[in-house]
């Protein structure tokens, strides 16, 4: 590792902010150009990134060590001892019977998909427009959304998003459209933008749908985290069922 260059406090912070994306686009563009044109600067950026990554990795590992990984289910080995075949078949049949009973119970009570289906209702959409100059286009997209033409509404809203990349309304309804289409990963990426924006009127609802999206991915802990940040009237009821 090359580590013999001097990086001032100001320069260090500027590089950090660049790596975190916490700079105005204009400054980011200047930094990107410097990265290309100045090998010494490029080395400094790589150095700061290594230190930041190393520090985060130590801390993450320490946190992960506190987590108890789930053990417990029996594992069926691929090459069983011949003498144990008969017993294993019987045991397997018994296990299948028990597992089926549990699965049946779960499917009809608290399985993630069941909970998702029970609690997920697409946002009903907006009546009025979002108050920017693209009102007409947005209204068309919203009509498509409310008619259940989610593919169409995504295409139209994404065009508007090009001019308003951080617009919470657009991100929220694109996320909701993806969720309605069962494209969960895409839904998450849009809903997250809104969920962390405390200034947004949609933040609480975005947290609710983000939680439901994670429920669909069977990630109960994350689902609970985001649902707890929502203000949906069924929040407590759902959290209780998730924790069972």
Partner 1 sequence: MTDEEWTLMYKVNFASIRQFVLSNNGNEQQAEDIYHEAFMAAWRNVQLGKYEFRGEQSLNSYIVTIGKNKWIDVLRSARNKKTLPIAMDIESEESDDLLSDEERDIELVKDQFNNLGENCKELLVAFYYRKETMREISAKKGWTEATTRNNKYRCLQKLRELINRNIP
Binding site for partner 1 (CB under 8 A): 1, 3-4, 9, 12-13, 50-61, 63-64, 67, 69-71, 73, 75-79, 184-186, 188-189, 217-219, 221-222, 225
Compare residues 24 and 72 and give the one whose CB is closer to partner 1.
Answer: 72
The least distance separating partner 1 from the CB of residue 89, rounded to whole angstroms, comes to 18
Shorter beta-carbon distance to partner 1: residue 143 or 225: 225
**Residue (of 44, 155, 207) closest to 215 by Cα position:** 207
* Least gap, CB of 52 to partner 1 (angstroms): 5
DSSP string, 133-176: TTHHHHHHHHHHHHTT-HHHHHHHHHHHHTT-TT-HHHHHHHHH
Which H helix or E strand runs over 53? helix 39-65
Token pair 């947005």 is at which residue?
A: 138
Q: Which is nearer to partner 1, 30 or 51 (CB)?
A: 51
71-to-74, 100, 106 alpha-carbon distances in Å: 9, 20, 20
Q: How far apart are CA 23 and CA 46, in angstroms?
A: 18
Q: How far is the CB of 65 from partner 1 (least distance, A)?
A: 8
* 8 A C-beta contact, residue 126 and residue 176: no
Of 5 and 104, the one with the shorter C-beta distance to partner 1 is 5
Residue closer to partner 1 by CB (options 55, 93) is 55
Q: CB of residue 192 vs partner 1: minimum separation in angstroms?
A: 9
CB of 240 to partner 1, least distance (A): 19
């Amino acid at each position: 590792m090359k580590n013999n260059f001097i990086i001032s406090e100001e320069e260090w912070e500027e590089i950090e902010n660049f790596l975190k994306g916490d700079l105005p686009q204009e400054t980011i563009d200047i930094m990107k150009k410097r990265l290309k044109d100045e090998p010494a600067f490029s080395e400094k950026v790589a150095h700061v990134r290594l230190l930041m990554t190393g520090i985060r990795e130590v801390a993450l590992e320490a946190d992960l060590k506190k987590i108890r990984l789930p053990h417990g289910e029996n594992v069926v080995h691929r090459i069983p001892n011949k003498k144990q075949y008969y017993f294993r078949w019987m045991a397997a049949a018994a296990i299948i019977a028990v597992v089926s009973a549990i699965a049946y119970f779960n499917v009809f009570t608290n399985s993630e998909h069941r909970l998702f289906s029970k609690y997920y209702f697409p946002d009903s959409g907006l009546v009025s427009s979002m108050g920017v100059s693209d009102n007409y286009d947005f209204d068309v997209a919203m009509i498509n959304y409310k008619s259940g033409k989610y593919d169409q509404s995504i295409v139209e809203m994404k065009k508007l998003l090009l001019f308003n990349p951080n617009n919470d309304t657009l991100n929220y309804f694109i996320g909701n459209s993806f969720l309605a289409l069962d494209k969960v990963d895409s839904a998450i990426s849009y809903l997250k933008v809104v969920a962390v924006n405390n200034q947004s009127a949609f933040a609480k609802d975005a947290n609710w749908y983000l939680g439901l999206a994670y429920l669909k991915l069977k990630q109960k802990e994350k689902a609970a985290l985001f649902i707890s940040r929502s203000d949906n009237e069924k929040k407590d009821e759902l959290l209780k069922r998730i924790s069972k």
